[in-house]
Structure formats: structure tokens, C-alpha cells
Amino acid sequence: MGVAKYIKDERGAIKEVIYQSGIKVKPAYGPEDLEKAGFTYEKDLGAPGEYPFTRSLHPQSYRSRAWTTRQYTGFGTPEETNERFKLMIANGQNGLNVAFDLPTQMGYDSDHPLSEGEVGRVGMAIDSLKDFETAFAGIPLDRIGSGLTINAVATIMMAMYQAVAEKFGYSKDQISTTPQNDILKEMIGRGAWIFPVEHGVRLVGDSIEYAVKELPKSNPVSLCGYHIRESGATPAQEIAYAFEIAKAYIDNVVQRGIKPEDFVGRFSFNFNVYGNLWEQIAKFRAARKLWAKMLKNEYGVKDKKKLFLRGLFGGGGSGLTKEQPENNIMRGAYYALGAALSGAQTTALCSFDEAYTIPTPRSALLSLRTLEMLMDEVGLRDTVDPLAGSYFIETLTLEMEEKILEEMKEVQQMGGMVNCISNGLIQRKVSKQAYEFEKGLQSGEYKKVGLNPSTTEDSSPDSTSGQTEKTDVELHEYNEDWAKKSKANLIKLKATRNNKDVKESLKALEKAAKGSDNVMPYLVKCCHAYATVGEMAGVFRDTFGEWNEPEFY
């Protein structure tokens, strides 16, 4: 995925290069290209750390601080997760990243029939505040922030995080939580949605409003172009759709009378990096610039810091192959190089075996070393935005901007993101592209080393070019005990909590959901009363209904 289309002649010379985003690349670039594009340093680049931030958000970038790397955790029971948390903090990590199991993500308790086979498998199983108390026991929540990979029920998890902090004696303005909370991308590319589009957006709006007023250290939304790209979007679309999604959320909150200035600074992004190296670099530079311009010109944001496109550039799962998996080690290195040349502040890398298994400690370490090497050994910290001024990169960045704006315009003309997603227009486009690309891969039109025949002939007798060894997929062992434990805990909980309080708090929640009150304070009350995730999400299900997904073809 993500590779350019190369049209070659009979002798193998490249005649045409077409990037996934649709940009054609010339054999050579020179000053005339920059002139033709109307490029000026002040308008298009700005100094590092100056608007429009094309080069970098900070004047010194990696010179002052190397990039941060992230590691996900959370699986099985809250007890095991708590141990893992403590271990990571002891190892110097100053932020937690929490994964939740599918039932929790989908608003079901561990004893729901649909939860079977899923409790604790891809993340932590959370049924109630009790589980959070176990998971975060002994964690200094005033110093350690938590990223929560949760979307459809992000409001519930945020409320529960506040409740657990309060239970442990912290106040809500001390804690820092970063829920992913990007429901629109779920509907395009990740599938963990529950409610219809407008209600999903309302909940995001509620959480942002609440964060502005009550959770000053929290970052309520992480806009994920990542998954949209994974499901078939081009790099230009990845940025365009993420920005249009951001607008949908911003507009919802602005309607409540809150100024964009007060909250956009706390949005963060999650972008993908795989495929063609130059296309990625141009993409990120263009994205930084466009985000700043959009906020300034369309939303009147003045404070420089709030114009930053903060985010994680990394991952790259779709670029990896199951065949000849060691190739993924090199791929990871190149992708990381792309991220570094783009000035990513935070990054993460899929490990080489991630195409077929949960990363082993060894492969996770290799990824870490890959990232370290760029910072500490190979020289990516030496200077800010080293490719600036390159005839090619600057022309490409400008062309990428145009492409992104084109894609955004298309969405606007079709009535905006909410409309497009409700009608399936984006999903259709993205599926079709994924299909076309896969066909191209299978026919050899797109090249993937180790997958299609390679360009360089290897005549040594023991070469394996042309052969594909496939490594077998390894899966997490599913642990039945986790489900048993969770179910037992649920029974105990329901017997010992004050069910009258639960009922009342749920009723109040329902009223808020039906009306236009912000649901967050009601959720916090429900959490304190030990209402379960299933019960709270159930109120939303009853009030909002479930989304009927549209056709994708």
C-alpha cells in the first residue's frame, strides 16, 4: 500500500511516476519550479517555529529535544494492567497509553452475549469504576497522564477517569486524560461505532465542552487520519478528511458559544507513515501549514501555540507484509526516517512482526532502537527541517497542499463530513480505492519488495528472490479466566452497590441525553454510583439508537 505507480518502458526505465495522492513527479526539479509555483520563504515556509510552521512547530525542534516514543499497554484484567503500568513508570515512562477490550469499546459489559470470546483480549476489560480503581491504584494521577484508546464511549471513560481520580483524592483540574474520541474516523475506517452520526458528534462536543470548563489539563480529541489511511485513503485524503472531521467537531462546539481559541489548541493528531518517502514528508509539512492557516483564517485563532498541529506521525502497519517479514525491519527504518525528516514530535513504529502477531519483546525493542538510531546516531537531530529549500520537496509540498485543499473542497461541496459519512460517500470512495490498490498489488502494477518479482536480479545460487516465505500468524491466547473473573466481579458489584442510586443516576443521564444538557456531569455521577459501562451505554443506545451503516459500493 502507499507506493507510487511506476510506468516503465521495455528496458525498465521509469517513464512516469504517479503518487497515490495523484501528484506526478518529474525526473528533475530546479529553481524554475519554485518560481513557477510562486514559492516564497515567508509565505510558504516561515522560519522554524514561526507561522505557518511548515518547517517546524518549534525553532529548535530535535536540537532541544528528541522525539517521544509511545508504547501501548492494557490487556486482560485491571490487575495485570496495573502491574504493567507500574513497571513502565518505574522504567521512566511519564505517560500511560491504555487499550480497552472490544466489549468495553462497544459499550457492553463482560457478561453480554456479544462479549463472548472478547473479554480482555485486545485490551483491558472495564465494566465499572471498580475496575478503574484496580487499574489505576497507586498511580500518581496528578503527574502521570493517560491516553485512552476509546471512541464511541469516550465520554463514559473520561467521566470514569475523573471519578477514579476523585476517589483517590485528586481534583479534576489536576488530572490529564487524552481520549482518542474521534467517532467520525471510526465510521470511516475502524468500525468501533455505536450511535448514529449526529449523536456521536454531539457526544464529542459534550466532551470537548466539558474539558474546556472542567478538565483543563486534558486533551479531549485525537484526530486520527491514521485509520482512514489504513482503510484506503490517499495521503492527501488522510489529511483532508482529518481536517474536515476536525471542523465538524469544532463547529459543534462553537455552536455552544465557546470560542475555538479556547479548545483547538488541545486537539492532537494521529497520522500514518508508510509508502513513498517523499510523499509522506510533503504531506506532513503541508499539513502543519494548512492546519495553522485554517485555524487562523477560518476560526480566528490568534495565539501562536494554539495553531500547532501536534501529533503522532508513525505506525505504518499497512506498509508491512507477512511475506519475508524481515523486510519490515528495513521498511520500519525508512518510515521512521520519513517521520524524522518531517519533524514528527511523537512517533511510534509497528514492529516487523506486527503483520501477523502481537509484537514480541524482541521486535518491540528493534522498533525502539530504530527510532533511537535516527535521533542519536545517524544525525536526524542535527538541524531543523533539513530538506527545506530543496527544489523537489518544496514544489512537492506546495502540490500536496493543493491536493489536500482539493479533497477538502470536495467534502465541503458534498455537504460536509457529517453528511458524507451518513450517506456513505467517504466509505465508498475509500473502499473503492482500497480495492483498486489491492488489485494493482496482485497484478504487479504496484511493487512491493518480497511480494512481486524484484527489479534487481540476484544471480547467486542461494537467493530467495521470487520466493515468498510466509511466517505463520501468531495470536494472543485467549484467557477464559479473565472473562470468568470479570463476570464474577460484575455479580458481586451489582449485589453490593446501592442500586437505588444507580437507577436515579441513570435516569438523570437519560434525561440529559434526551435533551441538550451536557452528559458529562451526569456520567460522572453514574460512575460514582458504580453504574456499569453497559448500563450507561445502554441509556445512550435506548435514546440515540444504533447507527445503520450505509452502502459502501
Partner 1 sequence: MIRLIEENDPSAFEMLKLLYPYAGQAFIIGITGSPGVGKSTLIDALITQFRKLDMKVAVIAVDPTSPFSGGAILGDRLRMQRHATDEKVFIRSMASRGQKGGLSRATKDTAVVLSAMGYDIIIIETVGAGQAEFDISFLAHSIGIVSIPGTGDGIQAVKAGILEIGDIFIVNKSDRPDAETSVLELKMMLNMRRPNTLAQNSDLSLNWTPRVLKTIAQNGTGVKELADTFLSHFDFMKQNGSIVQKKIELERLYFNSLIKDLALEKTLLFIKKSNDFKDALNKIESGSMDPITCAEHVVNNLEVTRKPEPLNSSR
Partner 2 sequence: METKKTIRVLIAKPGLDGHDKGAKIVALALRDAGMEVIYSGLHQTLEQIIQTATQETVDVIGLSIMSGAHLPISKKLIAMMKDKGLDDVYLTVGGVIPYQDIPKLKEMGVSEVFPGGTSFEKITKGINSLC
Binding interface with partner 1 (CB under 8 A): 196, 422-423, 546, 548-553
Ramachandran angles phi, psi of 247, nearest 5° = -60, -40
Q: Which does 41 bind (CB under 5 to 8 A by kind): partner 2, partner 1, none?
A: none
- Which of partner 1, partner 2, none does 40 bind, CB closer than 5 to 8 A by kind? none
List strands edge to edge, sheet with 145-149.
95-99, 145-149, 177-179
Which CB, 228 or 526, lies closer to partner 2? 228
Provide, rounded to whole angstroms, the least separation between the CB of residue 545 and partner 1.
8
Q: How far apart are CA 155 and CA 168, in angstroms?
A: 20
**Which partner, partner 1, partner 2, none, binds residue 322 by CB below 5 to 8 Å per kind?**
partner 2
The H or E element spanning position 526 is helix 520-528
Nearer to partner 2, 38 or 113 (CB): 113
Q: Left if phi > 0, otherwise alpha if psi is -120 to 50, otherwise beta: which for 431? A: alpha
- Which is closer to partner 1, CB of 456 or CB of 548? 548
CB of 71 to partner 1, least distance (A): 38
- Least CB distance to partner 2 at residue 327 (A): 14
State in angstroms the smallest separation of the CB of 549 from partner 1: 6
Query: Which residue ranges make up the site for partner 2 (CB under 8 A)?
Result: 102-103, 105-106, 108, 113-118, 121-122, 186, 189-193, 230-232, 322-323, 356, 431-432, 434-435, 438-439, 442, 470, 472-476, 478, 549, 552-553
- 480 touches which of partner 1, partner 2, none (CB within 5 to 8 A by kind)? none
In angstroms, what is the minimal distance from the CB of 80 to partner 2? 19
* 8 Å CB contact between 347 and 29: no
Nearer of residues 511 and 541 to partner 2, judged by Cβ: 541
Q: Which does 207 bind (CB under 5 to 8 A by kind): partner 1, partner 2, none?
A: none
Q: Quote the DSSP letter at residue 476.
A: P
Euclidean distance between CA atoms 242 and 415, whole angstroms: 16
Give how far the C-alpha of residue 286 lies from the chain's centroid of Cα atoms, to the nearest Å: 18
Residue 422 interacting entry, from partner 2, partner 1, none, C-beta within 5 to 8 Å by type: partner 1
The least CB distance from residue 551 to partner 1, in Å, is 4
381 and 63 in contact (C-beta within 8 Å)? yes
Q: Enumerate the β-bridge partners of residue 314.
A: 272
Quick one: 194 or 405, whose CB is closer to partner 1? 194
Alpha carbons 253 and 154: distance in angstroms, whole number: 16
**CB nearer to partner 2: pick between 113 and 515:** 113
Residue 190 binding result from partner 2, partner 1, none, given CB thresholds of 5 to 8 Å by partner type? partner 2
Q: How far is the CB of 388 from partner 2 (least distance, A)?
A: 36
Q: How far is the CB of 104 from partner 2 (least distance, A)?
A: 10
The three three-digit cell numbers of residue 83, written as one number:
502491574
**How many Å apart are CA 120 and CA 124, to the nearest integer?**
5
Residues of the chain by 3-state class (helix, strand, coil), percent to 5: 50, 10, 40
Residue type, 459: S
* In contact, 283 and 235? CB cutoff 8 Å: yes
Q: Residue 436 or residue 481: which is nearer to partner 1 going by CB?
A: 436
Residue 113, Cβ density class (10 Å: 0-12 exposed, 13-18 middle, ≥19 buried): exposed
* Paired sense of beta strands 267-272 and 95-99, if any: unpaired
Closer by beta carbon to partner 1, 95 or else 196: 196
